[in-house]
Amino acid sequence: MSWAEAREAAVAAGAALTPVAVEVPLAEAYGCRLAAPLRALVALPGVDVAAMDGYAVAGEGPWRVAGHVLAGGEPYQRPLPPGACVEIATGAPVPRGADRVVPYEHTSRGENTHDQDEPAHDRRDQGEDPRGRPFLGAVVGEREPSRRPHIRRRGEDVERGAVVLGAGAEVTPVVLALAAGLGHDTLPVRPRPNVAVLVTGDEVVHEGLPRHGRVRDAIGPFLPGLVEWAGGRVSGRLRLPDGREALARALTGWAVRGEGRWAPKEADVLVVCGASSKGPADHLRAVLAELGAEVLVDGVAVRPGHPQLLARLPGAGPGAGPFVVGLPGNPFAALGAAMTLLVPLLRGPSRQLSALAGPVRAHARDTRLVPVRRTGRGAVPIGHDGPASLWGAALADALAVVPPGWDGEQAELLELPRKV
Ligand SMILES: Nc1nc2c(c(=O)[nH]1)N[C@H]1C(S)=C(S)[C@@H](COP(=O)(O)OP(=O)(O)OC[C@H]3O[C@@H](n4cnc5c(N)ncnc54)[C@H](O)[C@@H]3O)O[C@H]1N2
Ligand code: MOO
């Protein structure tokens, strides 16, 4: 299967990863996708409010001060008659009868009415109380006439009931704040799909220095960040020895060599690292066939990462069970395969093009995934990109997708996760 077809198959499979919507408190919704459109529970602003600190005035000036309306304080209840004004703070409700707000700096009282350093007796000369507020009845004129009303009208930013975001939108920090501003305490979201990680290989060690032909696991550590960034969460991890039986038992939820009970049925996606190729310990395909899995992608024409696969296990009851993503054992091949199958499965489609600035040789038959760094001149290949080496990818911003026979300048970039 071509690389593009494999990615499409993963995106299409991802549509089946639609867990039941749940209503969660705002903070817990972060990073999830909205299960329903986000509507405004209130208008923004909720009433006509001042857009400037100053005086809400009625009719022609000068005006007599009839009250003070500060944000969060009591609104001015009575209608304001022509020739009257109330001192008003930005965001405070504008009284009925007021035509506009005159900012402090445009009034005859000038900017210094709130100079806290002035002695109280000087304030009284200016018609102010000791806190700098003008006395009721003090007269306010306008120095610089302006036609701008400086009033934000009810519903001017968002009308009550308006749909501000569609279902499926990602709940980012800004979306959380928007929802709070519109009156929401909870949000209906699709929970993040649960991803379980199985790292296979007798030669793989998980801490310390690898010795005597062993290797440190260099796939398991990138999966939680990558999965989180793609919209899922790693809900379980298991280390597996080589062996057909251990893998079969793990995929069907049995205890493995004292590792305790494992619950892949609670996982939406099982990621198997290694055992994907043709060696004596590479049992993944045989085990999937034994378990009656439906294989959706069986190898991809891509370098590195060709032995990758995507399958779906039969469900315990009616309906299909979890997806299985098989990542090759070579770590950079595993990263490329995760960017091809796992990320599109969890996150859906995304497309980004860039010029490539630097020599890249296309392969005759296979798509190449090339670590690149974005610069003003375009994306520059980094090198250090052998299938077992993560060095180039660690220096990269993205993987450039170079299709077979490619001789163009533009290439698709697969953005690599940075920070969630
Ligand atoms: N006869 C063939 N041999 C191989 C083929 C092939 O098509 N025909 N494909 C090669 C390619 S390409 C890759 S990639 C690997 C894929 O191998 P497996 O997925 O079966 O993985 P292993 O054989 O277990 O390991 C391969 C390699 O990666 C190291 N490894 C495994 N797991 C980890 C880990 N978690 N962290 C770091 N390194 C890991 C392992 O020690 C091996 O060196 O197959 C080729 N062979
Ligand atoms: O394609 Mo393998 O996946 O080169 O390392």
Going by pLDDT thresholds of 50, 70 and 90, the confidence category of residue 318 is low
On the question of pLDDT at 346 being above 80, the answer is yes
What CATH number is associated with residue 290? 3.40.980.10
**Is this prediction's ipTM beyond 0.90?**
yes
Give the chain's end-to-end CA distance (angstroms, integer). Answer: 31
Q: Which atom of ligand 2 is nearest to the CA of 305?
A: 3
Q: Looking at residue 132, what is its pLDDT? A: 66
Question: Which H or E run contains 204?
Answer: strand 204-205
Same domain, 180 and 58: no
329 within 8 A of 338, measured Cβ to Cβ: no
Q: Which of 277, 309, 363 to mutate to test the pocket of ligand 1 (most atoms within 8 A of CB)?
A: 277
Residue 333 CA: nearest ligand 2 atom is 3
What kind and span of H or E run contains 393? Answer: helix 391-395
Ligand 1: residues with CB < 6 A are: 199, 201, 203-204, 215, 217-220, 273-279, 282, 304, 306-307, 328-331, 333, 387
- Closest C-alpha residue for ligand 2 atom 4: 304
Q: Is 337 helix (H, G, I), strand (E, B) or coil?
A: helix
User: Residue 380's closest CA among 359, 352, 406?
Assistant: 359
- For 91-112, the pLDDT digits (tens) are 999 999 999 999 999 998 644 4
**Domain end marker among 152, 179, 200:** 152
Statement: residue 237 has pLDDT above 50: yes
> What band does 134 get if pLDDT is binned at 50, 70 and 90?
confident
Residues in contact with ligand 2 by the CB-under-6-Å rule are 303-307, 328, 330, 333, 387
Residue among 272, 282, 288, 330 whose CB has most ligand 1 atoms within 8 A, to mutate: 330
* Cα distances (angstroms) measured from residue 24 to each of 29, 175, 188: 6, 14, 6
Q: Do 62 and 173 fall within a single domain?
A: no
Taking CA atoms only, the protein residue closest to ligand 2 atom 3 is 305
Ligand 1 mean position to 202 CA, how many Å? 12
In terms of domains, do 211 and 316 share one? yes
pTM: 0.75
Among protein residues, the one whose CA lies closest to atom 39 of ligand 1? 329
> What's the rounded Cα separation, in Å, for the pair 405 and 303?
13
Q: How far is Cα 315 from Cα 294, in angstroms, rounded to an integer? A: 11
**How many structural domains compose the chain?**
4
Q: Output the domain CATH number for residue 364.
A: 2.40.340
Q: Residue 141 sits in which domain range?
A: 49-152
Average pLDDT of span 319-344: 95
* Rounded distance between C-alpha atoms, residue 51 and residue 62, angstroms: 21
C-alpha–C-alpha distance, residues 336 and 328, integer Å: 9
Q: Which of 142-146, 163-167, 281-285 has the highest mean pLDDT?
A: 163-167
In a domain, 22, yes or no: no
How remote is the CA of residue 82 from the centroid of ligand 1, in Å?
A: 84
Cβ contact 236:264 at 8 Å: yes
Whether residues 245 and 383 share a domain: the answer is no
Q: Measuring CA to CA, which residue among 243, 188, 217 is closest to residue 24?
A: 188
Please report the pLDDT score of residue 111 as a whole number.
41
Tell me, yes or no, whether 23 lies in a domain.
no
pLDDT of residue 123: 47
Cα torsion through 123, 126, 131, 135, rounded to 10: 140
Given a cut of 50, whether residue 113 has pLDDT beyond it is no
- Note whether residue 278 is domain-resident: yes
Supply the residue whose CA is at minimum distance from atom 2 of ligand 1.
Answer: 278
Work out the pLDDT band at 116, boundaries 50, 70, 90.
Answer: very low
Token pair, residue 399, equals 């993987």
Same domain, 38 and 116: no
More confident residue, 40 or 359: 40
Residue of minimum CA distance from atom 10 in ligand 1: 277
